[in-house]
Amino acid sequence: MKTLPVLCCGSETEPLDPAASESLASRFRALSDPTRVAIVNRLASTDECCVCDLTAAFELSQPTISHHLKVLRDAGLVESSRRGTWAYYRLVPDAVRELRHTLGG
């Protein structure tokens, strides 16, 4: 188990600059919905996932899944590519790494 320092009258860690704080806050806001957390969890278990799989897995309509994916994409957590009529989604590794680092992981 990792031992963390006790802070008093000063900090061993520099505060985040405002731009980094806003970027991280945007990503955490995107994860404030349970469905989006579940989508990110599903994407974390694979290299990429077809939107049709997400629609079937969550038993939600395609427009609802698309809305959640747009929020995640706008926050920079996922990216997509089109193949024919289907879109395939994957996590953005650097974005996930930044969130993990912010939480001390």
Question: Would you state the pLDDT for residue 11?
Answer: 61
**53 found inside a domain:** yes
Question: Would you state the pLDDT for residue 105?
Answer: 61
Question: Would you state the pLDDT for residue 4?
Answer: 67
Give the residue from 25, 19, 15 showing the smallest Cα distance to 7.
15
Please give the Cα distance from 83 to 31 (Å, whole number): 27
Cα distances (angstroms) measured from residue 72 to each of 7, 46, 79, 85: 34, 17, 8, 21
**28 found inside a domain:** no
Q: CATH number of the domain at 94, please.
A: 1.10.10.10
pTM of the full structure: 0.81
Domain that holds residue 66: 47-105
- Per residue in 34-64, pLDDT (tens digit) is 999 999 999 999 999 999 899 899 889 999 9
Locate 27 and state its tokens: 């990503």
**70 found inside a domain:** yes
**66 found inside a domain:** yes
Total number of domains constituting the chain = 1
**59 found inside a domain:** yes
Is 7 a residue whose pLDDT tops 90? no
Torsion angles phi and psi, residue 86, rounded to 5: -105, 150
Question: Would you state the pLDDT for residue 99?
Answer: 86
